[in-house]
Amino acid sequence: MNARHYTYRVIWSEEDKEYVGLCAEFPGLSWLAGTMEGALKGIARVVTSVVKDMEKSGEVVPEPISARRYSGKFQVRTTPERHRLLALQAAEAGVSINRLVNDRLAG
């Protein structure tokens, strides 16, 4: 699995006063750095290492969100682009799309 195909994001952490590198497919991983570039490079290295370890131990490696195919349906019709965005947001929150949408509808 090519770790470069995963979905990465860099955000500023006011609490840490550093940038945080994140990967949607691995919501438990992060990397702090003083620059955006450093945070992105750091999280990419961590994900690469974790994927290699998972492959060595025979674990199932998550499929990149970018490689998944979406129908655009989940009880409610939406566009494939919105479906992908909801999938990304749900992955980052560590919940299912149904849970994410249900929570938003309830709120």
What share of residues in the chain are helix, strand, coil (percent, to 5)?
50, 15, 35
Of 18, 33, 56, which closes a domain? 56
Give tens-digit pLDDT for 24-80: 999 999 999 999 999 999 999 999 999 999 999 999 999 999 999 988 776 788 899
Same domain, 14 and 52: yes
Give tens-digit pLDDT for 90-103: 999 999 998 999 89
Q: 0.95 cut: is pTM over it?
A: no
Confirm whether 23 is domain-assigned: yes
Range of the domain at 38: 3-56
Residue 51 to residue 11: CA distance in whole angstroms? 23
Which is it for the CA torsion 24, 26, 29, 31, positive or negative? negative
Same domain, 75 and 40: no
Domain count, the chain: 2
Same domain, 12 and 51: yes
Determine the pLDDT at residue 92. Answer: 93
Whether the per-residue pLDDT at 3 is higher than 80: the answer is: yes
Same domain, 8 and 44: yes
- Give the contacts of 2 (CB within 8 A, at least 6 positions apart): none
Same domain, 52 and 97: no
Which helix (H) or strand (E) element contains residue 85? helix 80-93
Determine the pLDDT at residue 75. Answer: 72
Same domain, 7 and 44: yes
Determine the pLDDT at residue 74. Answer: 62
Closest CA to 87 of 27, 39, 31: 27
